[in-house]
Amino acid sequence: MSDPSSSAVLRGALDLSSLRNRPTSPAPTGAGAPAAATGDQPGASRLVFDVTDQTFGDVLELSRTVPVVVDLWAEWCGPCKQLSPVLEKVVIELAGRVVLAKVDVDANPQLAQGFRAQSIPMVVALVAGQPVPLFTGAVPEQQVREVFAQLLQLAAQHGVTGTLPVAGEAADADEVAEPPLPPLHAEAFAAIEAGDYPRAISAYEQALAEDPRDADAAAGLGQVRLLDRVQGVDLVGARAAAAAAPRDVEAQLLVADLDVAGGHVDDAFGRLLDLFADVDGEKRVAVRERLLELFGLVGDADPRVLTARRRLTSLLF
């Protein structure tokens, strides 16, 4: 997230104008109704709700009272399943100072396009009707807390200091509590929160060794391996090194990782496919393996993955 002391982050880096005046359909009063968060209807204490292309206008208005965190996710996205419970936990603990709007990008393509969701999970905030990009990808709980603290500072600077009523919220949270994580998944989560990515990788690898069909472990492993590879990397230096040595496989792999971590998926795939066409032998094998790993991380159903797979196949045969 940008420096919270700067108002420049509220200049509208994302274009939501096409959704701003969209007519809204009557919202239900139960969980998942943005209108229920206004305090005028039953269910006003709900801090976590689903939002759709049709109800987004209500959420924009709500962001003039309280910061709204928008979680863009999809059912097929493994990292989304890791991040969403963390977001919900932190939002509920903030006791009405922030709300969480969940957007299923598959069911709401207009919102996905408006937020330019090139990679998910993607988390954006709305403050006074303006979007504030926060982060992309599953991140540790401590980092989520730090980003939310910055968001609250930023919101206060722009007069968004409301608090929604939370009476009954704890009981509601208990009703929707998810089952406990399997032990190895829990160990991986704890390691991620501590910033110990090698330990998280080991836990996910063990989970896959015990159950090769564990899709959540496979998704988590890809995400954590990516985080481990890009942790502490000098972005400017890495790009300069790759530009100076276009056939240096390690340099190109690193920049591709940085691109995916930053949401520039097409750039990453294009870079590696160009490199794959230009090298041979063991270098080609390394590039292909990284491509396949990134395909799994982004999601096999993602259109960008489908396009890149077709090009990879044509290069292979």
CA 135/CA 88 separation, integer angstroms: 16
Angle value at C-alpha 101, between 170 and 33, nearest 5 degrees: 75
Amino acid at 137: G
> How many angstroms separate the CA atoms of 159 and 182, rounded?
43
pLDDT the model gives residue 3: 39
* 19 — pLDDT class (breaks 50, 70, 90): very low
**216: how many CB neighbours lie within 10 A of its CB?**
17
When the pLDDT of each residue in the chain is averaged and rounded to a whole number, the result is: 80
Which segments of the chain does DSSP mark as H helices, in order?
A: 17-20, 56-62, 78-93, 109-114, 141-157, 169-175, 183-193, 197-210, 215-230, 235-244, 249-261, 265-278, 281-298, 303-316
Summarize pLDDT for 197-255 with one digit per residue, the tens: 899 999 999 999 999 998 888 888 888 899 899 888 998 999 999 999 999 999 999 99
Q: How far is CA 174 from CA 89, 90, 169, 223, 263, in A?
A: 11, 15, 9, 29, 34
Assess whether 77 carries a catalytic annotation: yes
State the pLDDT at residue 23. Answer: 42
Active site annotation includes 80: yes
How far is 65 from 289, CA to CA, in rounded Å? 48
Question: Exactly one of 47, 48, 77, 260 is catalytic; which is it?
Answer: 77
Supply 228's token pair: 């481990």
304 vs 291: CA distance, rounded Å = 12
pLDDT at 191 over 70: yes
Residue of 216, 16, 269 lying closest to 124 (CA atoms)? 16
- Sign of the C-alpha dihedral computed for residues 98, 63, 10 and 72 taken in this order: positive
- Scanning the structure block, which residue is given the tokens 């691109």? 259
The pLDDT-based confidence of 162 (bands split at 50, 70, 90) is confident
Distances (CA, A) of 82 to 73, 114, 157, 185, 291: 11, 24, 31, 10, 22
User: Under a CB-based contact definition with an 8 Å cutoff, are residues 74 and 105 in contact?
Assistant: yes
Report the distance separating Cα 86 and Cα 99, nearest Å: 13
Please report how many Cα atoms fall inside a 13 Å half-sphere around the Cα of residue 169, on the Cβ side.
Answer: 20
Give per-residue pLDDT as tens, 37-77: 333 332 334 789 998 888 888 888 899 899 999 999 988 88
Domains and CATH numbers, the chain: 7-175 (3.40.30.10), 183-316 (1.25.40)
Total residue count of the chain as it appears in this document: 317
Structure tokens at 149: 């603290």
Note the pLDDT of residue 40.
35
Residue type, 256: A
